[in-house]
């Protein structure tokens, strides 16, 4: 697909100097409900405010040197919420994907989705497929949206495919090692996250990228997602730059 000439301009964004930030940031966007409740509004009001934050965060990635951004939009456990909230979220995703995510094409952002699409409605899946196709050649920022995603579910689905390859004779059990399973995960084309952020003061990982985050750095911050800002992301990236990542080895 030919590139929009605007992409070349966008690619010139200078990154922050003298700063060794994360290449892949993953975010658990939590606190929308509490943000809305604090304003006496329904929970969906918070989700809409949260959706507006996503654009700002994606747009500041090039300046911060973030090449991959992965956001947790809906978990395999979120179906347990009320029917009104689930239906409202699905309608928000449809609208958001057809407007906002499509618009990100002009900014050379590649959009992908991870998670199990089987339970999602056909119209939503069609929009997801379309935006993935439209942005297929983009490479300024790789935005991955986790939708009906759960890490255990992902590992189970991956294992099923791996087992099928063994049964079909494409893979020998003796050749399975820790490089094998990641090739079957939804994230197979992505590098592992360097930094995982969770907003809203909860210090848990809630079934998000469990395999992939084995050596990630974590930040649990009090800010509710609709209040999160580019400035806060910059602060967290700067703090990441000061960490000594040893990956199990001894400090130099
Ligand atoms: C968690 O907050 C948030 C969600 C389950 C939904 C996340 C969705 C968005 C930020 C909006 C849309 C995103 C895209 C990509 C369109 P919560 O409801 O659990 O908040 P609470 O813990 O305060 O109740």
Tens-digit pLDDT profile for residues 41-96: 999 999 999 999 999 999 999 999 999 999 999 999 999 999 999 999 999 999 99
pLDDT digits (tens, 9 = 90+) for 106-126: 999 999 999 999 999 999 999
Distance CA 152, CA 211 (A): 9
What confidence tier does 244 reach under pLDDT thresholds 50, 70, 90? confident
User: Is there a contact between 67 and 24 (Cβ–Cβ < 8 Å)?
Assistant: yes
pLDDT digits (tens, 9 = 90+) for 122-144: 999 999 999 999 999 999 999 99
Instruction: Please name the residue whose Cα sits nearest to atom 18 of ligand 1.
Output: 33
Does ligand 1 have an atom closer than 6 angstroms to the CB of 32? yes
Q: Is 78 labeled as catalytic in the residue annotation?
A: yes
What confidence tier does 212 reach under pLDDT thresholds 50, 70, 90? very high
Using the atom order of ligand 1, give the atom closest to the CA of residue 53.
Answer: 10
What confidence tier does 221 reach under pLDDT thresholds 50, 70, 90? very high
Instruction: Please name the residue whose Cα sits nearest to atom 13 of ligand 1.
Output: 51
What are 245's two structure tokens? Answer: 């990542």
Catalytic residue among 8, 20, 30, 108: 30
- Please determine, for residue 247, whether its predicted confidence score (pLDDT) is greater than 90: no
More confident residue, 35 or 5: 35
In a 3-state reduction of DSSP, which class is residue 114?
Answer: strand
What confidence tier does 17 reach under pLDDT thresholds 50, 70, 90? low
Mean pLDDT of 144-169: 98
Distance CA 82, CA 43 (A): 11
What are 252's two structure tokens? Answer: 């130099």
What confidence tier does 9 reach under pLDDT thresholds 50, 70, 90? very low
Does ligand 1 have an atom closer than 6 angstroms to the CB of 73? yes
Distance CA 232, CA 69 (A): 15
Most confident of the following: 17-21, 179-183, 248-252:
179-183
Using the atom order of ligand 1, give the atom closest to the CA of residue 47.
Answer: 11
CA of 225 to the centre of ligand 1 (A): 8
Does ligand 1 have an atom closer than 6 angstroms to the CB of 50? yes
Q: Please report which helix (H) or strand (E) contains residue 143, including its range.
A: strand 141-149
Q: Is 165 labeled as catalytic in the residue annotation?
A: no
**Domains detected in the chain:** 6-10+21-151+191-239 (3.40.1180.10)
- Please determine, for residue 214, whether its predicted confidence score (pLDDT) is greater than 60: yes
- Please determine, for residue 222, whether its predicted confidence score (pLDDT) is greater than 90: yes
CA of 75 to the centre of ligand 1 (A): 10
Average pLDDT over the chain, rounded to an integer: 93
pTM of the model as a whole: 0.93
Does ligand 1 have an atom closer than 6 angstroms to the CB of 149? no
CA of 185 to the centre of ligand 1 (A): 24
Distance CA 93, CA 101 (A): 10
The residue to mutate among 28, 47, 97, having the most atoms of ligand 1 within 8 angstroms of its beta carbon, is 47
User: Is there a contact between 62 and 10 (Cβ–Cβ < 8 Å)?
Assistant: yes
Using the atom order of ligand 1, give the atom closest to the CA of residue 97.
Answer: 16
- Please determine, for residue 250, whether its predicted confidence score (pLDDT) is greater than 80: no
Q: What's the confidence (pLDDT) of residue 85?
A: 98
Instruction: Please name the residue whose Cα sits nearest to atom 10 of ligand 1.
Output: 50
Q: What's the confidence (pLDDT) of residue 7?
A: 43
Q: What's the confidence (pLDDT) of residue 18?
A: 66
Using the atom order of ligand 1, give the atom closest to the CA of residue 35.
Answer: 23
């Amino acid at each position: 697909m030919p590139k929009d000439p605007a992409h070349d301009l966008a690619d010139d964004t200078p990154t922050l100097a003298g700063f060794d930030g994360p290449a892949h940031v993953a975010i658990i966007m939590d606190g929308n409900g509490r943000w809305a409740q604090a304003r006496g509004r329904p929970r969906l009001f918070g989700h809409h405010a949260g959706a507006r934050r996503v654009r700002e965060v994606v747009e500041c990635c090039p300046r911060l040197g973030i090449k991959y951004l992965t956001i947790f939009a809906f978990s395999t456990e979120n179906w347990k919420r009320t029917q009104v909230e689930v239906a409202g979220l699905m309608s928000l995703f449809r609208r958001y994907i057809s407007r906002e995510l499509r618009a990100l094409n002009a900014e050379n952002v590649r959009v992908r989705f991870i998670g199990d699409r089987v339970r999602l409605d056909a119209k939503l899946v069609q929009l997801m497929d379309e935006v993935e196709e439209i942005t297929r050649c983009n490479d300024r920022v790789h935005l991955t949206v986790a939708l009906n995603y759960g890490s255990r579910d992902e590992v189970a689905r991956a294992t099923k495919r791996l087992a099928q390859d063994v049964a079909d004779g494409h893979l020998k059990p003796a050749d399975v090692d820790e490089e094998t399973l990641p090739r079957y995960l939804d994230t197979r084309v992505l590098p592992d996250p360097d930094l995982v952020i969770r907003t809203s003061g909860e210090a848990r990982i809630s079934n998000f990228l469990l395999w992939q985050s084995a050596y990630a750095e974590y930040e649990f911050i009090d800010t509710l997602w609709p209040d999160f800002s580019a400035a806060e992301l910059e602060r967290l990236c700067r703090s990441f730059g000061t960490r000594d990542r040893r990956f199990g080895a001894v400090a130099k």
